[in-house]
């Protein structure tokens, strides 16, 4: 499954090229991918596109983060591109409908010596603003089963040492943490039983450390999405990974396009199977405004941004709709995986729904 690397301060080593119409978040050669694309058959990446700019239809409503409890990261690729291209006809739309919506910041690198300060800076900035940051922790060994985002820490001992530092960076402050997207659903594709057990043990360790470092943090273990594993199977894996031992619940649809309705129903079935009344779910709504295009996972056409990040879900079992994947980052077909493509962001923001 392809993963999309993203711009985030915690990564380090990235270069940014501000060229209108092209992918702009360029990774250093040894930088791992971070923000995931949906599961599915991998396609070759032909490179970025550069369609002519268009202006937004006046009838397309813009989402808003007004009143949101969540922090707007000022350093997303969308925000960086907007700042560098104020005269581009697409800039206002991308700014208002994407960059100003709270989104996840991904922590994916082997940077045990620096990740504590990076988390501290990010969580501290959110605390100063009176908002809750969204963090995505994605660095477990053997992640992505040798796919485009292959990597992670070199051992589970190293991973746990890294988690110790991530946790310390929270320093008792509020945060919403999505833990290891796609790892539990995907692990049986490439790991034997013993290795799967190690993954679950390390995730359970991460839950304990994150919650001990900040009881105010909400930790959600990733559960894939409604078109992947049956609820009973993912529930079994989640229990093995510590969802009953202090976690706040599960996350679904990370980097996918499944409809909110389907994901809410799926999440509630998984939660019911786990059987812990206090657990809740969060759903990634960043790109699901038009639902999926069949089973196409790689930059499908005609998709749209979904409900902006909010806790107003209308369902007591769903804690939040979150933008976990960053809209505008390629899945790997219209540009290199994880590269910000302004035209893709613009299309998602203006698509008819």
- Terminal alpha carbon distance of the chain: 27
Identify the CA nearest to 312 among candidates 260, 256, 353.
260
Beta-carbon contacts of 96 under 8 Å, excluding residues fewer than 6 positions away, are 62
Query: How far is Cα 270 from Cα 274, in angstroms, rounded to an integer?
Result: 6
* Tally of CB atoms within 10 A around 186: 24
Residues in CB range of 236: below 8 A, 6 or more apart: none
Say if CB 143 and CB 152 are below 8 A apart.
Answer: yes
Catalytic (active-site) positions: 144, 182, 331
User: Helices 77-84 & 342-350, crossing angle to 10 degrees?
Assistant: 100
CA distance linking residue 332 with residue 6, whole number of Å:
12
Pairing outcome for strands 175-179 and 134-137: parallel
By three-state DSSP, how is residue 291 classified? coil
Distance from C-alpha of 306 to C-alpha of 44, rounded to nearest angstrom: 27
How far apart CA 306 and CA 287 sit, in angstroms, is: 5
Angle of helix 260-274 relative to helix 231-240, nearest 10 degrees? 60
What is the rounded radius of gyration, in angstroms, for the C-alpha atoms of the chain? Answer: 18
In the block, residue with structure tokens 């409890």: 69
Candidates 203, 265, 259, 254; CA nearest to 231 is 265
Q: Name the nearest CA neighbour of 20 among 60, 44, 48.
A: 48
């Amino acid at each position: 499954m392809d993963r999309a690397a993203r711009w985030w301060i915690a990564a380090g080593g990235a270069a940014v090229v501000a060229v209108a119409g092209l992918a702009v978040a360029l990774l250093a050669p040894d930088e791992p991918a971070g923000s995931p694309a949906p599961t599915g058959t991998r396609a070759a990446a032909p490179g970025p596109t550069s369609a002519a700019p268009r202006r937004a239809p006046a009838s397309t409503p813009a989402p808003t983060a007004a009143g949101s409890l969540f922090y707007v990261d000022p350093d997303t690729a969308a925000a960086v591109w907007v700042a560098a291209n104020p005269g581009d006809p697409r800039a206002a739309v991308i700014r208002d409908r994407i960059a100003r919506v709270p989104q996840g910041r991904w922590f994916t690198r082997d940077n045990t010596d620096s990740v504590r300060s990076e988390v501290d800076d990010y969580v501290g900035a959110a605390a100063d603003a009176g908002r809750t940051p969204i963090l995505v922790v994605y660095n477990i060994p053997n992640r992505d089963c040798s796919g485009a985002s292959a990597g992670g820490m070199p051992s589970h001992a190293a991973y746990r040492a890294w988690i110790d530092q991530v946790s310390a960076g929270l320093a008792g402050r509020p945060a919403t943490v999505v833990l290891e997207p796609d790892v539990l659903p995907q692990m049986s594709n490439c790991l034997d039983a013993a290795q799967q057990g190690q993954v679950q043990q390390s995730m359970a360790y991460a839950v304990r450390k994150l919650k001990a470092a900040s009881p105010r943090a909400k930790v959600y273990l990733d559960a894939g999405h409604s078109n992947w594993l049956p609820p009973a199977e993912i529930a079994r894996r989640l229990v093995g990974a510590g969802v009953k031992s202090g976690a706040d619940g599960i996350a679904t649809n990370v980097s996918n396009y499944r409809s909110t309705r389907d994901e809410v129903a799926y999440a509630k079935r998984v939660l019911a199977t786990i059987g812990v009344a206090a657990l809740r779910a969060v759903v990634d709504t960043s790109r699901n405004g038009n639902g999926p295009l069949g089973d196409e996972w790689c930059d499908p056409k005609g998709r749209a941004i979904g409900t902006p990040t909010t806790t107003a879900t209308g369902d007591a079992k769903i804690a939040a709709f979150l933008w976990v994947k960053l809209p505008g980052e390629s899945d790997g077909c219209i540009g290199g995986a994880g590269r910000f493509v302004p035209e893709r962001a613009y299309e998602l923001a203006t698509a008819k729904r």
